[in-house]
Amino acid sequence: MKRYETIFIADPELPDKERSSLTERLNELILQKEGILLKIDDWGQKRLAYEINKKQRGHYIRLDYCGTGSLVDEMERLFRIDDKILKFMTILLDKNADVEAAKEELAREEAERAKYLKEKAEANLEFSSTSKEISESRAAQAEDASQGKESKDIPDSPAAATKSKKASVTKEETSEKEQ
């Protein structure tokens, strides 16, 4: 069995319901021709490099599947007939594809992606809590200043905090020498 990748550009004015029925129809065709659909990537709307049918934008969808040449021929025949499809391109990825290995590879990629998104979310949460603490301390500092109280400076960065510590140590050393 061969592994293919087909990218097609659908009309951007096509409602989501019709676009999903189109992908379902392609999935059924793949199953009819004894193929296996590995993945559907919906890339969303993007600006086209040049106008196609007086349209400057298109909705990109990528299919990753295993099948035979007759499957590709039938799929491309449907793309030519359907006015909702602006452009399409099919690429042969592997002549002798191992379907199980391809599924494992996609599962591994998905797990890595989920791990990356989880780490990114945790980093964003940590950053937002740190930003909140800094803004709260600055607000308290501004309030103290408006009331005429002297407040301790809050460093903007770790480097500023280190400089602040060094300055206070130097002040303490000079006061000890004076005594």
User: How is the chain split into domains, by residue range?
Assistant: 2-97
Interatomic CA distance for residues 179 and 174, integer angstroms: 9
Q: What whole-number distance in Å separates Cα of residue 89 and Cα of residue 92?
A: 10
Q: Residues with Cβ < 8 Å from 39, sequence gap 6 or more?
A: 62, 63, 64, 106
Largest CA distance in the chain: 95
Which residue, chain included where needed, has tokens 């087909």?
A: 6
* Interval 31-47: pLDDT, tens: 999 888 888 999 999 99
Architecture of the domain defined by 2-97 = 2-Layer Sandwich (3.30)
Per the structure block, which two tokens stand in for 50? Answer: 């040049």
User: pLDDT of 90-113, one tens digit each?
Assistant: 999 989 877 777 778 888 888 888
pLDDT tens string, the chain, 179 residues long: the values are 899 999 999 999 999 899 999 999 999 999 999 888 888 999 999 999 999 989 999 999 999 999 988 999 999 999 999 999 999 999 999 898 777 777 788 888 888 888 888 888 888 877 777 777 777 777 777 777 777 665 555 555 555 555 555 555 555 555 555 55
Q: Is 58:13 a contact under the CB 8 Å cutoff? A: no
Tokens standing for residue 138: 């600055």
56 vs 51: CA distance, rounded Å:
5
